[in-house]
Structure 1
Amino acid sequence: MREEETKRSSQDSRFKRYFKKRWIYPAVYIASAALILTGVLWYQNSGDKADQLDYKATDVPGKKYNDEPAVEVNRAMENFVMPVTDPDAAEIKMEFYDNDSDKQKQEAALVFYNNTYHPSTGLDIAVKDGKEFNVLAAMGGTVTKVEEDAFLGNVIEIEHDKGIVTQYQSVKDFEVKVGDQVEQAQVLGKAGQSLINEKAGVHVHFEIRKDNIPVNPLAYFNKPLSALQDAKLEDDSQKASEEDAAEKGEQSEEGTSPEEGSSSEKEETGDKEGTGTDKGTDKQGSGSGTDTGNDEGTGTDKQDIEKDASESKDSTEETDSTKSSNS
């Protein structure tokens, strides 16, 4: 027992002597701090490795993929379609005015309103039985305009890409509002009527525009959005086509019906003949007619005066002779 106590006492004394040294406490502090710092760094590195195994697209520097909606990927796979449920039952009442088409098609693509011809900037689509039908989105996108307009028959506009939109005019019973995300073939409303084209009856006026320039929808049906993105359009050509449409509209107005055309031609020829005869009579009257008439008129007047003078002279001579005979 005494030996064990002596050993313990000797160990305690050694331990006490060891901690009495000045450098021991700073060494313990430094070692503890090193262990703690090592543990923290190891924990952070292990968390970074776990994040690297499960990273997101937003972690890529310089790219912000989540800013674009996921619909864009699906939309790139979509093609423009006719905004009706059954394209086979659809009937195009009026086509797009194309400046490169023949004269007959151009005249058929003119809208006559308020004594003025306007080029059609889209398609007037109806069904063969003339009944109401659902108007569908030609491609997915964001609704940017929903307006009530009696002249155009109300307007819905959907943006599919920057600067590329589709417009749906002559629509009633709206089923979407501004800001809605719509899918392809989603119902937007029902076909209605418009004041600008009452002859079309129940229909929908469908337009595709890029940078506010209308394009021919028939040229982009069953084609992807990229086909229109790559297309280069010039606004000046559209303005020129509108001017040509106005000129051809005036020509077609003159020759719409044979009776009107013949009557107008007769009137024109009558006016020409009338002006010609008027000019002729004016010339004759002013030239030979007036001159000769004036000359003849003055001549007859002179003859009448001379006759009157001679008669008066004769009468005076007779009176003088009677007086002389009486005397």
Structure 2
Amino acid sequence: MREEENKRSSQGSSVKRFFKKRWVFPAIYIASAAIILTGVLWYQSSSSNTDKYDYKSTDLTGKKNQTPAVEVNKPFENFKMPVDKATEAVVKTKFYDFQGKAEDQESALVFYNNSYLQNTGIDLALKNGETFDVTASLSGTVKRVEEDATLGNVIEIEHDNGIVTQYQSVKDIKVTVGEQVKQGHVLAKAGQSLFNEKAGTHVHFEIRKDGVAVNPTSYFDKPLSALQEKSVDAPSQKKLDDLEKSTDSEKSTDKQEKSTDSEKSTDKQEKSTDDQKSPVKPDASSENS
């Protein structure tokens, strides 16, 4: 019994002496921390291995989410005249405004194919009549590039909230569909069109919201939000009918004037013919002689 007690006491004293050493507890702490850290890393690596699961959630970064990021710091842009030399540009044909004055509406009509048509944009040209660089009024995505003999080729750029800008009567096109362009980017050169030959070398510029044309001159140097907040309605059929009646009336007046001039000319010709046919009466003095 004494021997066993002596052994136990000797073992207890050796354990106590071991724990009394200064390096024991720091070593235990370090080993424990290493074990815990290893377990945490192993758990994270196993739980983050999501490739074996076909997640469709869009909140996983890089997982089947092809939606382009929105540029938060994108600067606000104002509509600019689509002409490289804006100070030298003049408006050849105005926008036809159904609420505008009669004289402004008259100057916004385009005569094409024996008909008067309302202009859905503005026609810009240089004072000297030369060609010029046509530039993007706003930054956006090129949605349409089309060759058109009547309109003189077409470029359409899409912006935010159903707003597009359109450029007609252009040549030497320098952009393609799907291309991202910045404001002021050169799109093409100004050209000519069969639709408005009277304007000469020009660019026909339109701004449309949800497919409805608006007056570009009302939005130059104004932000895109000014048009986004505005409610735009298409012209009513009554207004279109009134325009057609007015156009028909002008045509009828022109025809009547031409007919009157023709009748006057015919009368003059007939009188001249009658004068030539009428016999010349002899002079009384000659008869007496």
Q: TM-score range by the shorter chain?
A: 0.5 to 0.7
Contact kept? 1:117, 1:245, Cα under 8 Å = no
Provide the residue aligned with 2:95 in structure 1.
96
Looking at structure 2, the residues matched to 219 and 169 of structure 1 have their Cα atoms a distance apart, in angstroms, of 19
The structure with the largest alpha-carbon Rg is: 1
Cα deviation, residue 165, structure 1: 0.3
Percent of counterpart pairs with the same letter? 49
Contact kept? 2:161, 2:228, Cα under 8 Å = no
The answer to whether residue 31 in structure 2 is matched with residue 36 in structure 1 is no
Looking at structure 1, the residues matched to 214 and 180 of structure 2 have their Cα atoms a distance apart, in angstroms, of 24
Aligned residue identity for 2:250: S
* TM value normalised by structure 2: 0.67
**1:154-190 deviation line (CA, Å, top 9, x unaligned):** 0000011131000000011011101111010110000
Cα deviation, residue 266, structure 1: 8.0
1:161 match: secondary structure: coil
The answer to whether residue 208 in structure 2 is matched with residue 209 in structure 1 is yes
The answer to whether residue 74 in structure 2 is matched with residue 74 in structure 1 is yes
2:249 match: secondary structure: helix
2:74 match: secondary structure: helix
**1:20-72 deviation line (CA, Å, top 9, x unaligned):** xxxxxxxxxxxx99973465448989xxxxxxxxxxxx899xxx9x74442x7
The structure richer in helix per residue is 1
Cα deviation, residue 105, structure 1: 1.2
The answer to whether residue 190 in structure 2 is matched with residue 191 in structure 1 is yes
What pairs with 1:305-324 in structure 2 (closer than 5 Å)?
none
Provide the residue aligned with 2:271 in structure 1.
none
Cα deviation, residue 254, structure 1: 3.6
What pairs with 1:167-178 in structure 2 (closer than 5 Å)?
167-178=166-177
Looking at structure 2, the residues matched to 139 and 116 of structure 1 have their Cα atoms a distance apart, in angstroms, of 33
| Alpha carbons of structure 1 residues 265 and 205: separation in structure 2 relative to 1, 3 Å | same
Residues matched between the structures, number? 224
RMSD of aligned alpha carbons: 3.6
| Structure 1 portions without partners, runs of 5+ | 1-5, 16-31, 46-57, 269-327
Contact kept? 2:79, 2:222, Cα under 8 Å = yes
Provide the residue aligned with 1:123 in structure 2.
122
Of 230, 238, 241 in structure 2, the residue corresponding to residue 243 of structure 1 is 241
Provide the residue aligned with 1:157 in structure 2.
156
Contact kept? 1:119, 1:242, Cα under 8 Å = no
Aligned residue identity for 2:209: K
Cα deviation, residue 114, structure 1: 1.1
Contact kept? 2:98, 2:105, Cα under 8 Å = yes
Looking at structure 1, the residues matched to 74 and 177 of structure 2 have their Cα atoms a distance apart, in angstroms, of 21
